[in-house]
Structure 1
Amino acid sequence: MKQEQRKWRAEWIGDGGEGGARNEWRCYRREFELPEAAAAAEIAITADARYVLFVNGTLCGRGPVRSWPAEQSYNTHSVGHLLRKGTNTIAVLVISYGLSTFQYILGRGGLLAELEASLAGGGSFAIGTDASWETAQHAGYDRRTPRMSCQLGFSESVDARLSDGGWTTTGGTGAEQWKPARTIGRPGCDPWPKLVPSDIPSLTEEPVWPVRVESLKRVRPVSWTTALDIRNAMLPDSVGHANPVAFAGYVAFVVRASEAADATFGFLGGFGAFRGFGLNGQRFKTSEMEGQLPERYARIRLRQGDNFVWLETLGSEHGMGLHFGIDCDVPFEIVSPIAGAGVDGESPFALIGPFATRTYVDYQEQEQSSPLDDYKGFGGNKELDAGAFEGFDAYARVRDAASADDLRSLEDWIRPFPLELVATDSVFGKSVWKRSEESRPVPMELQAVCMAGPLPATVPAYPDGDTEFVLDFGKEWSGYIRFELDAPEGAMLDFYGYEYMRDGWRQDTYILDNTLRYASKEGWQKYESPVRRGLRYLMVTVRNASRPVRLIGVQIVQSNFPVAEIGRFHSSDPLLNDIWEISKHTTRLCMEDTFVDCPAYEQTFWVGDSRNEALVNYYVFGASDIVKRCLELVPGSSVQTPLFADQVPSGWSSVIPNWTFFWANACLEYAEHTGDREFARRIWPQVRFTLEHYLRKIDERGLLRHRGWNLLDWAPIDQPRDGIVTHQNAVFVGALRSAAKLAKLAGEADRGIPFAEASETLAQAINAFLWSEERQAYLDCIHADGRSSDIFSIQTQAVVYLNGIAEGTRKERLAAYLVEPPREFVQIGSPFMAFFYYEALAALGRYDIMLDDMRKHFGQMIEYEATTCWEMYPNFVENRPNPNMLTRSHCHAWSAAPGYFLGACVLGVRKETDGWSRVRVAPQPGDLKWARGAVPLPSGGRIDVAWRMEDEAGSRVFRLDVRAPEGVEVDLVAPDGYEPRMRLIRG
């Protein structure tokens, strides 16, 4: 990362508390007098965790970019055009998560900002955060909303009646209760010892309108819903990390019914530790309930008065809450089973336990075994018994409890469930579970909501029901929901974003609460969400409207790393053209302040994914800064593990060795792509550091053994958590070779020699111990007990071939497997793995097989109207818990391989020297008749290619035109068997 460059005048400020409050939306503001207009001005700003910056009421910045607390990033925003002579206002909304996510490590909450302006008449003006600023908790945001997912922060519920945004403007303080801000410390104070300027530009903000109203329904909601953060209730200290935890315990409450009635209990989210519930002494296991996982429903009979309920939680959880609800025709209330509790703003729920807890760290150096690991819910298969944990007898007695009185003997285990961990409502629950729904034709007047014009769309209103309509944005997008409407006071608009629907079936996001609730004030109003979301479809449900609601528009403010679409591809095959387009769009959506895996579920920078994403980006957009930023973020995880984490910066201390190895490869590829020797010198010590630690894990046979997450592909290959995994050893060979080459680029070739030698030694060990003479293939693994795997996969053969480990007849055998994969081998399960398969096919020269594979697998996506690339192939049972479900994420940049290979292979553009000073253009037509396109150059400009196959007087002619900038040497190569007609054009 860059070193600190700024001499700060400002101080960190907060609200005077300890900071880092859970799901807090805090306002800061400062009015000031400017003696004359500004010629130029900028605000340098950072916050813990996230900020939205306003100057005189105009939103002009978001941030900060993700970073490690030890090197806190700050952004700089130009604001001179927003300042005026006289009174001005800087206002900042700071969002504090109060827990660690996959993008953020828990800090303490706070704001640091300063304005520097050059005045039009000369002179300067400066102001920074200090005790003269005001602060207030935002009056409109509900802090009791559920987590969006274990990877992200919180969903959003805002009440415009309580705060209308007036606090961001001069003279308007809104309804907030303001007080002086408190100084936390000077820049350099804990937990932010170093401040580092962002090394990338601000992300784009491009309004995107929906293309159609897809459906319209009259719906009736279920009676009551909520969501419980059981993880943080069971393990309060878990807010400090995002590692998986496991626990055994219960949540109890009483349903007080006005009269006896039938009711339905619904459990709706992806909370994996839920095992069932009890009602008045009767037990309902999840396996016995109705519905398809993860939805579960139980039809029950409530008696008049009190009905005692317990929810059993046993198992592992990463951070999702339990969304559930009750639907009933008679009035009821939820009350506490603890005598005297649950009143005066207290929670109506009780926590029983935890009777046992377990926290997991995903790498060998810190993972400690536990007797619990043998039991169900904690990773084993053994049924719980008295030896599982102290308090098992009390745990078992809860299952027999038929009333709150039966809990009296368990007083030591019972306490109120914290109210802040109980959602006021579950918008997700009400969006996916309705008492009734009736489809209605979409009137043309409502389609006006999709039109970029002043004509408002009136939302139909129905007696005794709510109005639900679904907007289709035509493609997946990633950004911020924005809307403008005229509504009565108290109307409720629930927004729910999702990625996929087909023939009336909707793929609900059970492990993602992708919702926003907006309660309106009276009249015309605007709102723009500060929470990033990914979606194609947006369900909008209008509730409690006393008069019709009119919408001028609902938009997604598309936000991504600013890139130009320099790369192009067009060919005689329309299917391949469509495949290239979805690869491009996918990669763009997954370029935020780092590469991310997906814009919806996670928005996480996965280190291994980004290697492939960087290559696609090189050929489509040509951006280099984002790649360097990603590569330089990774070593910051050394505070968690010397093996480097698989997603950064993150509260989940997780390692996938292959992801670190792919990072080492990507460091070399970036240095070669850009010719940046200074980068090689800076990053080489970090590559050396982590690979040296991996070499310490080589066993007596000379093979790498790792206990942890040994992943390569989402497929049933044999990649156990403990053992010697062949694909991992093969990828390690390649990473060691990359390290040796990187050392040479860094000017330390001698220090790279041990890595080159280690790679050859490891390759020899792979050939000695991981080859099956009987099957004439490399086995998937050797298990921890010494047992050789009986599973053989294409994945293993592909990476062994790709990393140059097999020789002679073994190499020939692997080549035959790649050309015609044996049916008995495990087949490729994800487009991510297809990237390495295509690399191997390219090394074999079998471009025809590559194109056919693209047509088959990516063509299937096009058949299902995909606008982005799926995370998985729907080939395996593991990938299809529902027959309609084709993949989890419908937009995943690790899957965008065609964006690279169609440019590198079909157009045939590849670098011959570092920095692309010399380029080779050798198209591989396959069965195509013609193709044309462009590939960006890292120093600017591009290579334009157009080729065509022709028959001319009985000869097969290959016409190739290439346009390249001056100063770039270009070698033109025609395919074998064709008469070349080639031209190099400059300019």
Structure 2
Amino acid sequence: MFIKTAKVISEKREYPKGAKRICREGAFGGEWSVYRSSFDCAALPSKAEIYMFGAEYFRVYIGGKFCTEYSIRSYIFRRAYEVLDITEYISEGKNDIVVVACESGEEKRSGFSLELSLDDAVVALDWQTRKYEAVIPPMTYMLSNYIEHFDAAKDDALVASGTFSWSGVKTLDAVSEPFSELVQSRQKEQTRIVYSPHKTVAAEAFFDDKGYEAELCGDGSYSVFASNIHCDGDITVRICQFGATEVCIDGAKADCDNDIELSSGVHLITVLSGGNVSIRICGEGFEVSSPIGGKWAVCKIQKAKTGMVYPWNEPKRVTVVPEEANRILHTKSFDLLPENKLVATVAPMSLFSKIKMRKHISCSDGFCDEKLSSVSPREERTDPRGITNPDGAHSGGAVVIAPSKLGADLILDYGCERVGLVGFDVEAPEGTEIEFMTFEMITGSGIRYMGPGSCGNVKCREGRTRFLSNKKRGFRYLALYFPPCEGEIKLCSSDMIETRYPAEVAGEFVSDDKRLCDIYKISVDTAKSCMMDSYVDCPGCEQNVWTGDAAVTAEVNMTCFGEKEFDERYLDMIGDSTDDGVRRIYRTNNPRFLAKKNIVCACFPTFPEGGIPIWSLSWANQVVSHFMHFGKGENTEKNLRDLDECFNRFFIQTNDRGLLSIDGAWNLIEWADNDLMPCGEVTANNMMLSGVLASVAGMHELLGNTEKAEFYRGKSKAYRDAVNAYCWDENEHAYADTVRDEYAYREYVRFCTEKGREVLSMDDYMSLSRISAQTNTFALLYDCADGERAEYCKQILLDSVKDGNYVSGSPSSVLPNQVKKRVGIGTPFFLYYTLRTLYRLGYYDIALGVIRRDWGAMIDDGLKNCVEAFRMKNGEWGRSAAHAWSASPAVFIAEEVLGVKPVKPGYTEFTVAPHACGVSKAYGYVPTPYGNIQVKWTVGDDGKTEIVCHAPAECKRVEK
């Protein structure tokens, strides 16, 4: 079911002159507000429009109906605004406008602007505001670690009258610092599609252990938390915890999760951690208190300073818990603890931790997925909990939870990963608190927990509570927890609303290879869920705009969806990341930004500070790909200027050997054990820079910019020559990940000295050199290797996919003087580059075999989306269940199996050259700016391929 919303107007509209921005004074970040205004219509207008933008998320209701929402990321200094047609929302007489907004809490970057136009005349609106008490702050719309707390009894945003404490608004000019420029977004409106659960995978009883529970708050240093357990008599307790390195009772290691006998009197409990700890002491007949005040004391032991810029991207150091920490941990009584102990910061245990520690019971009227029960055996009870119609959430009818001293929970499966809003409709006694948690996977280890932001609780109003989340989450499963209750609870429905960009395939890919069709589907479905207001890495874990991840999703968009405006706005936004506005607003006094050495951002808006060169170059490559798929557009010239600025920043950080070397960069290729540091001459960076410069030269050639094309070709050759002069390891017959020689060591020592970092000896430094599949694949893909060197690289390429044995990692996994192993592929992300290279070199059967094997394994395991990482050593799939960078098979199925590729911009000339590789027939579509290209081919008994192709008149098929 689709929920209708106001339509975005794509025609150009200037933001009204004299427009204002309004905000509630005194609001802090993560707080929510209600704004209200009204206007009168003597007669219905023929045209009604609103113009809007804001500092944070807000949604708009007109006449009590949901109209639209603003959730577009863009730089503050070049803010995106939307224009929407609201004609059908207007009625004769008085019309109320209500805005529910998340507040930024900042003095300047705050508020929103909403201008109303009726029949081309701007209508003045007077606003009043108040705090939105239903949303318990802090809370944000985009994914964060904030747990969502909602009080339905206070959900009065749309109530027109009452004893509300309204206040006036602070009014500012719409176009004023930091909103110095406004740019119209002409992207389509987000979907609002209602999905019911696909099935119920668990219906059980639960209880929470009695006892003491708390969150012990660390600060990143080694900390030993300490307190006394005062026992009234001989008692039995059980300690559950998350986040602790070790727990001791009276100086001896505690056997957590098992019964511990404590005698009458006082016992010291100590907890060692480098961060926060969730702890529950289960049992009765005791109290927890610290002799120095509060419940806990803390002794802090500072970690040794290493000056690491990105700890996950460094050569590994052997990490040993300081002896002082171990000594304090094993102290036998409180009075023997160091004198410098402090009162610890203690918070109530989070809902997330409570859910993870919850005990489940199998009752006669319930059931549970075998993957869950096998990992965490349930207490068996023959009596029922009182769960009637547990399948009702998906099959129809209410799920009825009877009164009981036990809680009840349902786990609902929505069939595949979707991004949107949790929703449910319940009848429950006033004050009933229903908790929920979203997650992506049920694996051999049970639920794959995702973090505090996946959780929430709703305090019900009397009668019926219809809840719709204020936070956008990506999930496949929803767990609902109904508390022990004295009155009946009815779950009438539990529908989620999918909110994403409305990207859809131009047409389904069909072939006689079902496995390939299934792989195509999970790839495009993954890409859809990673297209929100912009390309994001994943809907479930971060929802961040990472340019390297986005480059893969963008290729799926261009070959399968054809959403030009979406891609165009993304390229513009990321191109803005080298604008001086970024320094002025986000990194005011940063030396790198002052010197204009910051490169195109890797993660919007400015992370990491030193950039990720390969991510920046992925954006540059995407500019060229956009041009080839969609042709020259009104933004092409801006894209070219942004490219020039991007490359200039690489040029000024090129050393006297002609190699790019950026101090403080996060030199990431993928999650693998590559030899990479935040300094030095990284071979892959230079190879990709050479290749992308050549691609941009080709773009200029097609545009008739001959002089610029020659300039970039010359630059491309210079980097390629430098790579071959310094990056080849003659002993290994391969290109090294990072150049390591006397020159490089001197630069390394300089960098470490300037940053106050530990300096490795020359021998240790040299021992970190690695040969990898990644670097040597790039050598082939970006034309840096030829002759004998290319043959060596080809063997490394073929070996890297031979058996599908991929191992995720990072440079921090490698120790100096460790036995050297060739670094293999780590994630599906790099297979995008591997497959590009295999197809480019004509290894068609091998390439399609890799797709069938490696993505087919996901399907075989019941996954409905492309996961971020391959199976780990424990057999579990890695991290997020739907990840942008893993969706590349759809690209290669369209380009290489169906066989359609552009030769000239916008497919004005294109080829159809399928590589069947065992497929006997295929049918599908590829979008172009002029309409879809439709291709159908079959392989005859004689091995010849018969192709039928229909294309728009503007698109000409040419021979390969």
Q: If the length of structure 1 is used for normalisation, what is the TM-score?
A: 0.80
CA displacement 1:315-370 (0-9 Å, x = unmatched): 7xxxxxx461314232767767654xx6xxxxx6777769679898959xxxxxxx
Q: Is the 8 A contact 1:157 1:517 kept in 2?
A: yes
The one of 106, 123, 129 equivalent to 1:134 is 129
Equivalent residue, structure 1, for 2:829? 832
Q: 2:350 aligns with which of 426, 440, 443?
A: 426
C-alpha deviation, 1:152, in angstroms: 2.5
Whole-angstrom distance in 1 between the partners of 2:117 and 2:212: 51
Contact 2:224–2:273 under 8 Å retained in 1: yes
Distance 1:63 1:248, change over 3 A: farther
- TM-aligned CA deviation for residue 539 of structure 1: 1.1
Distance 1:920 1:480 in 2: 42
Aligned residue in 1 for 2:660: 704
| Alpha-carbon distance, 1:925 to partner | 0.9
CA deviation vs aligned residue, 1:684-735 (integer Å, no higher than 9, x gap):
2222223222233333433233443211122223333443332222112112
| Superposed CA offset, 1:901-949 (max 9, x none) | 0110111101111111111111111111111111111x13111111111
CA distance in 1, matches of 2:337, 2:141: 33
Among candidates 908, 911, 929, match of residue 902 of structure 2:
911
SS at match of 1:942: strand
Match of 1:982?
none
Residue 498 of structure 2 is aligned to residue 573 of structure 1: no
| Mapped partners of 1:485, 1:312: distance in 2 | 43
- Measured in 2, the distance between the counterparts of 1:803 and 1:203 equals 37
Which residue is equivalent to 2:7? none
Amino acid in structure 2 at the alignment position of 1:142: I
Distance in 1 between residues matched to 2:314 and 2:333, nearest whole Å? 26
Aligned-pair distance for 1:594?
Answer: 0.7
Residue 920 of structure 1: SS of its match in structure 2? strand
Offset at residue 118 of structure 1 (A): 2.3
| CA 585–463 in structure 1, closer or farther in 2 if over 3 Å, else same | same
CA change 1:378–1:705 in 2 (3 A) is: closer
Q: Which moved more, 1:193-202 or 1:545-554?
A: 193-202
Match of 2:399 in 1: 457
Residue 152, structure 1, aligned to residue 152, structure 2: no
User: Is contact 1:225-1:324 (8 Å) kept?
Assistant: no
Aligned counterpart, 1:795: 774
2:370 matched residue in structure 1: none
Find 1:675's aligned residue among 631, 635, 638: 631
Distance change (3 Å), C-alpha of 1:108 and 1:255? farther
- Greater Cα shift, 88-97 or 923-932: 88-97
Map 1:348-747 → 2, pairs under 5 A? 380-381=317-318, 409-410=339-340, 414=342, 417=345, 422=347, 425-438=349-362, 440=364, 441-442=366-367, 445-451=389-395, 455-459=397-401, 461=402, 463-502=404-443, 505-511=445-451, 513-638=453-578, 639=583, 640=587, 641=593, 642-649=598-605, 653=609, 655-676=611-632, 678-706=634-662, 707-744=664-701
Give the 3 Å change call, closer, same or farther, for CA 227–52 of structure 1 in structure 2.
Answer: farther
SS of structure 1 residue aligned to 2:950: strand
Q: Map 1:873-892 to 2 at 5 A.
A: 873-874=870-871, 879-880=872-873, 883-892=874-883
What do the CA deviations read for 1:102-128 (whole angstroms, capped 9, x no partner)?
xxxx77664323342427xxx956244
Change (3 A) 1:680 1:148: closer
User: Residues 361 and 653 of structure 1 are in contact (CA less than 8 Å); yes or no, is this contact kept in structure 2?
Assistant: no
1:154-174 CA-partner distances (Å, limit 9, x unpaired): 22011223x1x333132256x
Offset, 1:257:
6.6
Does the 8 Å contact 1:247/1:358 carry over to 2? no
Say whether 1:24 aligns with 2:18.
Answer: no
Q: Secondary structure at the match of 2:486?
A: coil
Q: Is the 8 A contact 1:569 1:931 kept in 2?
A: yes
Q: Does 1:93 align with 2:93?
A: no
Deviations 1:439-463 (A, max 9, x none): 5535782212114x6x32223x473
Task: Summarize the Cα distance change of 1:757–1:972 in structure 2 as closer, same or farther, 3 Å threshold.
Answer: closer
Matched, 1:902 2:856: no
User: Which of 920, 937, 941 is equivalent to 2:931?
Assistant: 941
**Cα 1:351/1:117, change in 2 over 3 Å:** farther
- Which segment is superposed worse, 725-734 or 178-187? 178-187
Which residue is equivalent to 1:811? 790
* C-alpha separation in 2, matches of 1:487 and 1:744: 68
Equivalent position to 1:7, from 9, 16, 41: 16
After superposition, the Cα gap between the structure-2 partners of 1:726 and 1:260, relative to the gap in structure 1 and judged at 3 Å, is farther
1:275 deviates by: 4.2
Deviates more, 1:397-406 or 1:424-433: 397-406
* Deviation string, structure 1 residues 85-141 (Cα, Å, up to 9, x no partner): 34433222222366xxxxxxx77664323342427xxx956244x6x41212x2233
Displacement after TM superposition at 1:201 (Å): 2.2
CA displacement at 1:478 relative to structure 2: 0.7
Q: Which amino acid aligns with 1:262?
A: T
Letter in 2 for 1:949: V
Indicate conservation of the 8 Å contact 1:96/1:109, yes or no. Answer: no
Q: For structure 2, which runs of at least 5 residues remain unmatched after alignment?
A: 1-9, 368-386, 588-592, 746-764, 804-820
Match of 1:865 in 2: 862
C-alpha displacement of 1:565: 2.1
> 1:282/1:96 Cα in 2 relative to 1: closer, same or farther (>3 Å)?
farther
Partner residue, 2:56: 49
Q: Which runs of 5+ in 1 are unaligned?
A: 99-105, 235-245, 291-296, 316-321, 343-347, 364-372, 387-392, 974-987
How many residues get paired?
A: 874
Contact in 2 for aligned 1:262/1:300 (Cα 8 Å)? yes
CA distance in 1, matches of 2:60, 2:107: 20
**CA 1:399–1:186: 2 relative to 1, 3 Å:** farther
CA deviations 1:422-453 (Å, max 9, x no partner) are 4x5522222222234325535782212114x6
Identity value in percent: 24
Structure 2 CA distance for aligned equivalents of residues 897 and 168 of structure 1: 44
Partners of 1:585 and 1:310 lie apart in 2 by 48
The letter for the 1-side match of 2:841 is L
In structure 1, give the amino acid aligned to 2:690: V
Q: Using a 3 Å threshold, how does the CA distance of structure 1 residues 651 and 126 change in structure 2: closer, same or farther?
A: farther
Amino acid at match of 2:24: D
Q: 929, 942, 955: which one pairs with 1:968?
A: 955
- Letter of the 2:361 partner, please give it: E
Match of 2:753 in 1: none
1:214-237 Cα distance to aligned partner (Å, 9 max, x none): 111111123478775957xx5xxx
Match status 1:114 vs 2:114: yes
Give the distance between the partners of 1:97 and 1:357, measured in 2 at CA: 36
CA spacing shift, 1:780–1:841, aligned 2, 3 Å: same
* 1:868–1:314 CA distance, 2 compared to 1 (3 A): same
**2:166 matched to 1:179?**
yes
Shift of 1:580: 0.5
Pair 837,36 (structure 1): closer, same or farther in 2 beyond 3 Å = same
Q: CA RMSD, aligned part only?
A: 3.7
Aligned partners of 1:10 and 1:415: how far apart in 2? 52
Match of 2:378 in 1: none
Matched, 1:782 2:739: yes
Q: Which amino acid aligns with 2:158?
A: T
The superposition leaves residues 629-648 of structure 1 with CA deviations (integer Å, 9 ceiling, x where unpaired) of: 22112233333552222111
- Contact 1:2–1:196 under 8 Å retained in 2: no
TM-score where L is the length of structure 2: 0.83
